[in-house]
Amino acid sequence: MFEDPTNKVEQVKLPQAFKKAEEVIGEYQIEPQSFDDLYDKEQIAKDLEFVLERKKKWANQSFEMHDDVNKKLATVFESIIFDQGESSEWLGSNAFLIKTSEYDDFKNGVDAVAEYDMEEGVSRVAMAIDVTFNHNIQKKISKIKENIRNGILTEVKYFESQVEDIRGQIKNIPHIIVGADVDTVRELANAWVDDDKEALAQHGVQFQFFEEAILQCKYFAEFAEANGQTKIKEKYNSLQRVLEAQLKNKNLEDKGTRDSFMKDFQNYFDF
């Protein structure tokens, strides 16, 4: 937890939180079928089949009870970030969030796209949002670094901008991982179910997200420069400036509380 790490949240209103998460996803998640004016219907059908295959593969695996709970908590966490990203300005006052399709979630590892409507133009950041209970994000980081070495960034096939007249595929967006530990997620889930707007709006996790994102911008920009990928370096540098400006303008006191995920997270980005 953030306010008092010694007072663990042992119970979570998971059934109610998961039901609410499904409602949010159902309302806001992009559906590939709505892009049949841009993509061939057979192509869309193949993408939907890809999603079904991934779901079947997951369903056919044998899970312990805690694995099912963790999966549901991850869904709840993603939905809370999407919901509060704009309503409580967790990601800044100029942020607009788009919940990606299941296809882009499975295929490209992108749960949401955040757009920042700035005076000098639009800056986009693709955010892979995960609840990593074992705090192991090495595989995700390695994938981002592999792409940077190859001179590419993340793409989203099914996208519709909220700030520009852009619809369809977008490419070369910086990929950012944000996370929190299980106790923080449980705390957020309970506040979300209780519709405790004040607790959510003032929660310290939003500062943690900014710090995680800015840290990655610095790290991946340096990594890109070391691998001769100047354009990618500039992408991350530009995003860093946007995030730092958004963080500076937050009208909320940062009490400096960070959870165990953040503490372990920093170890992956040791300069």
Q: Is 178 inside any structural domain? A: yes
Question: How confident is the model over 203-212, as a mean pLDDT?
Answer: 95
Secondary structure of 22-83 as H, E, C letters: HHHHHHHCCCHHHHCCCCCHHHHHHHHHHHHHHHHHHHHCCCCHHHHHHHHHHHHHHHHHHH
Residue 224, token pair as written in the block: 């890109």
Question: How confident is the model over 93-102, as a mean pLDDT?
Answer: 91
Q: Is 4 inside any structural domain? A: no
Radius of gyration of the chain (CA): 18
Q: Is 2 inside any structural domain? A: no
Q: Is the pLDDT of residue 270 over 90?
A: no
Q: What is the pLDDT of residue 42?
A: 97
Taking all residues of the chain, what is their mean pLDDT, rounded to a whole number? 88
3-state secondary structure of 96: strand
Q: Is 128 inside any structural domain? A: yes
Q: What is the pLDDT of residue 259?
A: 94
Query: Do β-strands 175-178 and 121-129 pair in parallel, antiparallel, or remain unpaired?
Result: parallel
Q: Is 9 inside any structural domain? A: no
CA 140, CA 44: separation in Å to the nearest integer? 26
Q: Is the pLDDT of residue 11 over 70?
A: yes
What confidence tier does 122 reach under pLDDT thresholds 50, 70, 90?
low
pLDDT, tens only, 125-168 = 666 666 455 578 999 999 999 999 999 999 999 999 988 888 99
Q: Is 254 inside any structural domain? A: yes
Of 169, 165, 111, 147, the residue nearest 235 (C-alpha): 147
pLDDT, tens only, 211-254 = 999 999 999 999 999 999 999 999 999 899 999 999 999 989 99
State which residues form the domain around 217: 14-269
Question: How confident is the model over 50-64, as a mean pLDDT?
Answer: 79
Domain count, the chain: 1
Q: Is the pLDDT of residue 33 over 90?
A: yes
Question: How confident is the model over 34-43, as a mean pLDDT?
Answer: 97
Residue 163, token pair as written in the block: 């700030």
pTM: 0.90
Q: What is the pLDDT of residue 132?
A: 59
Question: How confident is the model over 15-30, as a mean pLDDT?
Answer: 95
Q: Is 7 inside any structural domain? A: no
Q: Is 212 inside any structural domain? A: yes
Question: How confident is the model over 69-89, as a mean pLDDT?
Answer: 91
Q: What is the pLDDT of residue 66?
A: 59
